[in-house]
Amino acid sequence: MIDSSLKEIAAALRAKKVSAVELATESLARIDAGNGRINAFVTVDREGALAAARAADARLAAGTAAPLTGIPMAHKDVFCTEGVLTTCGSKMLANFVSPYDAHVVSLLKQAGAVMVGKTNMDEFAMGSSNENSHFGPTRNPWNTDKVPGGSSGGSAAAVAARMVPIATGTDTGGSIRQPAALCGITGIKPTYGVVSRYGMIAYASSLDQGGAFGYSAEDCALLLSGMAGHDPRDSTSLERETEDYSRNLNRPLAGLRIGLPTEFFAAGMSDDVRAAVDAAIAEYRRLGATTVEVSLPNARLAIPAYYVIAPAEASSNLSRFDGVRYGHRAAEYTDLNDMYCKSRAQGFGGEVQRRILVGTYVLSHGYYDAYYIKAQKLRRLIAQDFAAAFEQCDVIAGPVSPTVAFGIGEKSDDPVQMYLSDIYTIAVNLAGLPGLAHPAGFGAGGLPVGLQLIGNYFGEARLLNVAHQFQQATDWHTRRPAN
């Protein structure tokens, strides 16, 4: 039953063909069977899941169920969950049990969704491969020698392996879209501010945004509808009416203008990815869309701008992890300063330490204007490029990643090559725009290829409509790993 769409699962629950307890039990059994191989989950909350499932069955019996009531799901381990470990994939928080729920977690609890556990991730969301976790790398269900993408690789792998039908993730520079593409599922990052960051442990506050993973655009629309909304506890949460993101799914694509950025189709994309992306765009033309060439001239500067801004914000955000109030504390130290130094050196992994050092450097006296302010100016230029492009088109399409999933350890010794994995996704975060990745075919080694759709501000419903129409005409999103 977990292999079915959310709409089919919800219908079966209401028709009493299956119970929420039976679904939760099936999900837990799949995790037991596959997690040793995939390592998608850091924590499995068996008792909590079954208790939530029993409560969901009671709501279903009473006729008070919401669309997500009784649906098994997982949260990326960056979202605080009351009474359950929240580790951020780090030794620093390996024993941290949150005393409260993130806003997203609260909303989905209220909707009756059944959390079965917390998924693995790159430490503090810093990574593009899910190899930076204190709990070991997550493996791609399509080929366990390959990465699932990051930083939300655990959530993407859990959905791709059919352990859960939906999961939450976060996207700071592509961390929902890239793993969705590499794992052959659908993922959406909404406009910055649409999903509350309260209780979402921060990496880069002006870039982080929660989002959704599912088998299809329709599933993502239902999950996003349940987790979006204004939260007064988050100063960056936007005061907007809540939306039903599934409302336009069946809208035809006739008249849709798809922008194809020149810069996205230049050198750098592998031939197999290019072939799948070109075929997907051809399918959109068959569905009634037209394509127009657009330009994002400053997109090439997105990676250098991002790797100044994000580490700077991380340096500030992670300063709270000092071994005093919570988190890892060194067992032996001589004085307070020694405790700080040893606790942080022991608690943070190599990539996190690298980004803290870079961020501290660019914020230091004499370098703030030269690096940080200049990167913020580039960020504005990138946003202006998108604004100009959207005067010519309704959505922008292109690749998600320049290659299919690469081997575990293949790029570990070359951080710059790892950073280039996000070359097509980072600009979207710098501009605060919504972005979606959906399956578009397969490349080398039978590994999935994703297509990225980028919308104008608050264009999530349109992106989901476009992807849904594609998925009505193709079956890439229905393919699943052999094991």
Tokens of 360: 């501290």
Distance, in Å, from the CA atom of 147 to the CA atom of 138, rounded to the nearest integer, reads 7
Going by their DSSP bridges, the two strands 210-214 and 186-189 should be labelled as antiparallel
Distance, in Å, from the CA atom of 480 to the CA atom of 3, rounded to the nearest integer, reads 9
- Which listed residue (19, 27, 76, 401) is catalytic? 76
Domain count, the chain: 1
pLDDT reported for residue 416 = 85
H helices within 413-475, ranges in order?
Answer: 415-419, 426-431, 460-473
Q: Which residue has the tokens 């909304």?
A: 229
Distance, in Å, from the CA atom of 176 to the CA atom of 293, rounded to the nearest integer, reads 26
pLDDT digits (tens, 9 = 90+) for 54-112: 999 999 999 999 999 999 999 999 999 999 999 999 999 999 999 999 999 999 999 99
Sheet hosting strand 114-119, strand order edge to edge: 41-44, 114-119, 72-76, 166-170, 210-214, 186-189, 435-442, 448-455, 395-399, 257-261, 290-294
Distance, in Å, from the CA atom of 168 to the CA atom of 50, rounded to the nearest integer, reads 20
Tokens of 26: 């099936």
First to last CA, the chain: 17
Backbone CA torsion sign across 143, 144, 149, 153: positive
Distance, in Å, from the CA atom of 130 to the CA atom of 157, rounded to the nearest integer, reads 10
Distance, in Å, from the CA atom of 199 to the CA atom of 81, rounded to the nearest integer, reads 8
> Angle at CA 69, nearest 5°, toward 68 and 70?
110
- Which listed residue (128, 151, 196, 343) is catalytic? 151
* Structural domain for 63, as ranges: 1-483
pTM of the shown model:
0.97
pLDDT tens digit at each of 483 positions of the chain:
999 999 999 999 999 999 999 999 999 999 999 999 999 999 999 999 999 999 999 999 999 999 999 999 999 999 999 999 999 999 999 999 999 999 999 999 999 999 999 999 999 999 999 999 999 999 999 999 999 999 999 999 999 999 999 999 999 999 999 999 999 999 999 999 999 999 999 999 999 999 999 999 999 999 999 999 999 999 999 999 999 999 999 999 999 999 999 999 988 899 999 999 999 999 999 999 999 999 999 999 999 999 999 999 999 999 999 999 889 999 999 999 999 999 999 999 999 999 999 999 999 988 999 999 999 999 999 999 999 999 999 999 999 999 999 999 999 888 888 998 999 999 999 999 999 999 999 999 999 999 999 999 999 999 999 999 999 999 999 999 986
pLDDT reported for residue 267 = 80
Residue type present at position 281: I
The CATH code of the domain that includes 16 is 3.90.1300.10
Q: Is 76 a catalytic residue?
A: yes
Q: Is 151 a catalytic residue?
A: yes
pLDDT reported for residue 483 = 67
H/E segment holding residue 345: helix 336-347
CA atoms within 13 Å, Cβ hemisphere of 434: 24
CB atoms within 10 A of CB 233: 10
- Which listed residue (27, 129, 155, 175) is catalytic? 175
Q: Burial level of 286, CB count in 10 A (0-12/13-18/19+)?
A: exposed
